[in-house]
């Protein structure tokens, strides 16, 4: 299946939507319903294996974030086949699928092996329309961006960056072990290469005020991302954050506050930015708090109702940056050498589940 429809990023306004919703955007591009199939190729992260830190992000337990990590890890081809079957059972009239490399850092491996696993996923089934690749802003040396650019010449590809926040105290609290300059460098080297640049943002980070979250919204607008995923901070079992929430040390954002913050945030970003997610959740067996995030349908209705009450929609308070993002110069690559040493080499990581189930 190939792109056959419209790439009009303002069509949502004529359709009477409150924001540029991802599902509707994909329907316009591909002429039908597109669903993601989560894949786990066995990647790790540089803040797990010691390249930049150890321990990983304090909120992260990939079993809760990705269905693929709740079962014995199978090779990518098997995950795709079974995932497509599962999605077709759940949804009617699915026209195509995105192979979504979701947990961990999915560009953190020798680049020749990355090409192998990405091309395997694209070619596994005729109804796979493209790729979504989750990664960190410090894990995209030029070799990776050139690979993704080449894939995007023939397929829809989204490179999803975990920015989370522009504020260093929040990044330090999470144990991200990168700074915002890595994000600026990554997006300025990624823009205009033919693939979608999506940014992940977490709302409700301890210590961040409403003003700080709006500063992150303005920074997203300044840097010119194609798409955004908004997540409420939530705590799951088996994580440092989960322990702190269970002990009462940290409290999660209240539902009403989150709804208003999402609307405030979306009002400030460009109307052309595709909104791929407006909340996050985890399976009830893993989730500690907040429980309100489990009811995603109600949350979406509340966000839309708040837009309606205000008489606004995405982009209503957007202020264009002084420099058009497309005119920002492409900087030199600032990928840390310790990470580059894991990517810009020839070799194989035996943990990657490409064709072997061992």
Residue 210 lies in a domain: yes
Confirm whether 111 is domain-assigned: yes
Q: Which domain CATH number covers 113?
A: 3.20.20.70
Q: What pairs with residue 218 in β-bridges?
A: none
**Position 2 pLDDT exceeds 80:** no
Q: How many CB atoms lie within 10 A of CB 146?
A: 12
128: in domain? yes
Tokens of 252: 């999660």
- Averaged over 250-278, what is the pLDDT? 98
If one counts the domains in the chain, the total is 1
270 found inside a domain: yes
The predicted pLDDT at position 142 comes to: 98
Domain that holds residue 183: 11-335
Q: Is the pLDDT of residue 163 over 90?
A: yes
Cα–Cα dist 110/98, whole Å: 23
- The answer to whether residue 352 sits within a structural domain is no
Asked if the model's pLDDT at residue 63 lies above 80, the reply is: no
**d(Cα 159, Cα 162) in Å, to the nearest integer?**
10
Residue 8 pLDDT: 85
Residue 244 lies in a domain: yes
1 within some domain = no
For 211-221, write each residue's pLDDT tens digit: 999 999 999 99
List CB contacts of 269: < 8 A, sequence separation 6 or more. 217, 220, 221, 228, 314, 315, 318
For residue 357, what pLDDT is reported? 42
Asked if the structure places residue 182 within a domain, the reply is: yes
- pLDDT-derived band at 70 (thresholds 50, 70, 90) equals very low
The reported pLDDT for the residue numbered 241 is 97
Mean pLDDT (whole number) for 323-337: 97
Q: How far apart are CA 30 and CA 1, in angstroms?
A: 8
């Amino acid at each position: 299946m190939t792109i056959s429809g419209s790439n009009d990023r303002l069509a949502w306004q004529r359709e009477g939507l409150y924001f540029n919703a991802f599902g509707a955007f994909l329907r316009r591009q591909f002429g039908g319903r597109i669903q993601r199939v989560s894949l786990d190729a066995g990647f790790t992260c540089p803040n797990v294996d010691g390249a930049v830190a150890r321990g990983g992000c304090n909120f992260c337990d990939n079993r809760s974030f990705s269905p693929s990590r709740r079962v014995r890890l199978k090779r990518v081809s098997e995950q795709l086949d079974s995932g497509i079957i599962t999605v077709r059972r759940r949804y009617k009239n699915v026209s195509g699928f995105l192979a979504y490399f979701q947990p961990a850092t999915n560009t953190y491996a020798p680049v020749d092996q990355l090409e192998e696993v990405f091309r395997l996923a694209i070619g596994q089934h005729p109804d796979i329309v493209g790729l979504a690749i989750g990664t960190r802003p410090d894990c995209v040396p030029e070799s990776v961006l050139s690979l993704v650019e080449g894939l995007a010449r023939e397929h829809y590809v989204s490179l999803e960056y975990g920015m989370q926040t522009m504020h260093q105290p929040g990044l330090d609290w999470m144990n991200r072990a990168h700074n915002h300059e890595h994000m600026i460098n990554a997006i300025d080297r990624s823009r205009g290469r033919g693939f979608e640049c999506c940014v992940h943002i977490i709302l409700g980070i301890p210590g961040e005020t409403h003003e700080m979250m709006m500063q992150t919204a303005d920074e997203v607008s300044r840097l010119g991302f194609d798409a955004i995923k908004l997540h409420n901070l939530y705590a799951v079992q088996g994580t440092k954050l989960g322990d702190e929430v269970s002990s009462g040390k940290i409290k999660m954002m209240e539902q009403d506050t989150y709804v208003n913050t999402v609307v405030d945030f979306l009002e400030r970003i460009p109307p052309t930015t595709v909104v791929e997610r407006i909340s996050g959740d985890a399976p009830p067996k893993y989730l500690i708090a907040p429980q309100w995030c489990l009811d995603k349908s109600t949350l979406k209705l509340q966000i839309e109702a708040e837009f309606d009450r205000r008489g606004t929609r995405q982009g209503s308070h957007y202020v264009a940056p002084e420099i058009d993002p497309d005119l920002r110069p492409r900087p030199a690559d600032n990928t840390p050498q310790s990470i580059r040493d894991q990517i810009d080499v020839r070799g194989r990581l035996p943990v990657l589940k490409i064709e072997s189930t061992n």
